[in-house]
Amino acid sequence: MFDNLSDRLSGALKNLTGKGKINEDNIKETLREVRMALLEADVALPVVKEFIAAVKERAVGAEVGKALDPGQAFIKIVNDEMIKAMGAENDALDLNAKPPVVILLAGLQGAGKTTSAGKLSHLLINREKKSVMVASADVYRPAAIKQLETVAGEVGATFFPSTTEQKPVDIAKNAIEEARKQFADVVIIDTAGRLAVDEAMMSEISELQQAINPTETLFVVDSMTGQDAANTAKAFNDALDLSGVILTKADGDARGGAALSIRQITGKPIKFIGMGEKLDQLEPFHPERVASRILG
């Protein structure tokens, strides 16, 4: 992610070398490089502006301590602000609710919802020692229901069968009821995704959320879609009460702008990142790791 930021910065930071204090003048060029790097990383423009303003405010006038030269001091400020912008620390799932904990997954088609349902199950079963049931409320694509069944089989989650004749709300309610009867700790509800945000889809998922009142509503988004990811995040965040985000396909995303944009635009924590197609490739999101990768 953001591989080019530290390269860009190391050139621009030369301007700061030998200066005792950071001021408007000696920081200009450096801020321009940060701005360019973020834009190239596909961070949404309003987010870039806000970020640059925050860095500038902290940097200008900053006394540079004995141990740090201005370049290092500046990098530390960028690093701190980046961690802050991405959400300070990892937010875990709320697993303390009365069981079954209900997790609703929402997002566009192809974002990685079904795969993430499998990955989350795998993580909860293996790391948290929870029993997990999964159900698909995608009543438009029989293949999606089948895909979830296969994934569930691979990770050892209980699959709650559904059909395309049923209503999403009924499927979800029945699955939760069944999970309760079987004393499952967690039930994950996978939902339909359309190719683009549309009103029918938004009202369907918003009705579903209201009907089942899940513990967690996670927005699943493909990090490779860059600026679009930010727009989609805004639409889902407006329609639903999201508790967090799963950022998928981070393994293929060299630019990495989505993490920063989505967090800033939704104000919701990124809880996990998908790092590959395999079902054990889901990791808790650690902003400080991403920030240190960005700065090299």
Per CB under 6 A, residues contacting ligand GDP are 107, 109-115, 193, 248-249, 251-252, 274-277
Q: How far is the CB of 252 from ligand GDP (least distance, A)?
A: 5
Q: Is 191 annotated as a binding residue?
A: yes
Based on CB atoms, which residue is closest to ligand GDP, 119 or 130?
Answer: 119
Based on CB atoms, which residue is closest to ligand GDP, 81 or 204?
Answer: 204
Backbone angles phi, psi at 243, to 5 degrees: -105, -10
Q: Is 217 annotated as a binding residue?
A: no
Q: Do residues 51 and 81 lie in contact, with contact meaning Cβ atoms separated by under 8 Å?
A: yes
Q: How far is the CB of 77 from ligand GDP (least distance, A)?
A: 31
Q: Which residues of 187-202 are buried (b: 16+ CB within 10 A; e: fewer)?
A: bbbbbbbeeebeeebb
Q: Which residues of 11-41 are buried (b: 16+ CB within 10 A; e: fewer)?
A: ebbebbeebeebeeebbeebbebbbebbeeb
Based on CB atoms, which residue is closest to ligand GDP, 100 or 112?
Answer: 112
Q: Is 111 annotated as a binding residue?
A: yes
CA distances from 184 to 15, 98, 110, 162, 254 (A): 60, 11, 28, 18, 38
Q: Do residues 131 and 180 lie in contact, with contact meaning Cβ atoms separated by under 8 Å?
A: no
Q: How far is the CB of 158 from ligand GDP (least distance, A)?
A: 19
Based on CB atoms, which residue is closest to ligand GDP, 18 or 252?
Answer: 252
Q: How far is the CB of 238 from ligand GDP (least distance, A)?
A: 20
Q: Is 54 annotated as a binding residue?
A: no
Cα–Cα dist 219/295, whole Å: 27
Q: How far is the CB of 191 from ligand GDP (least distance, A)?
A: 9
Based on CB atoms, which residue is closest to ligand GDP, 248 or 266?
Answer: 248
Q: Is 44 annotated as a binding residue?
A: no
Find the helix or strand (DSSP H, E) in which 158 lies: strand 158-160
Q: By beta-carbon distance, which residue lies closest to ligand GDP?
A: 274
Beta bridge mates, 270: 245
Which residues are part of a known binding site? 107-114, 190-194, 248-251
Binding residues for GTP: 107-114, 190-194, 248-251
